[in-house]
Amino acid sequence: MSTTIKKKKKVRPRGLYLKQKLVNAVTAVLDDEMTSVFAQTEYGVPQSTIRMHVNNVSLGIGGGRRSYLNNQQEGYLVDLIKSLELIGIRLTKNILKKVIGEYITSVSQTQRLT
């Protein structure tokens, strides 16, 4: 009876580089200033990431979720929630969802109309 031992696949750590370095690397390759190999050494961004963005220009550079509100709108919403709490309205999860949802909808509609 023979047993086989599976080796665990070595997981590479995610690359840590600045967003601007990725932008600069992709721009340099697109402008034919250098290849992705040289861009990797120059900017510290993985070759595969650079090539992926060069070959698929529609990819957005930057991560995270899309933001529905700008900083001013978000600040106003926070102030609104705090004031509701101060006047004694019980803010349950469902009430907060409704208030936030209606606020985002109203802000989105007014932006579309202008």
Task: Write down the pLDDT at residue 93.
Answer: 95
Contacting residues for 67 by C-beta, under 8 A, at least 6 apart: none
Domain segments of the chain: what residues? Answer: 19-55, 71-113
Give first-to-last CA distance, the chain, whole Å. Answer: 75
Tell me: domain 19-55, CATH 1.10.10, correct?
yes
- Confidence grade of residue 110 (pLDDT, cut at 50, 70, 90): low
Task: Write down the pLDDT at residue 34.
Answer: 93
User: Looking at residues 87-104, what average pLDDT do you find?
Assistant: 94
Span 10-65, pLDDT tens digits: 766 667 888 889 889 999 999 999 999 999 999 999 999 999 988 887 777 766 66
Contacting residues for 34 by C-beta, under 8 A, at least 6 apart: 28, 42
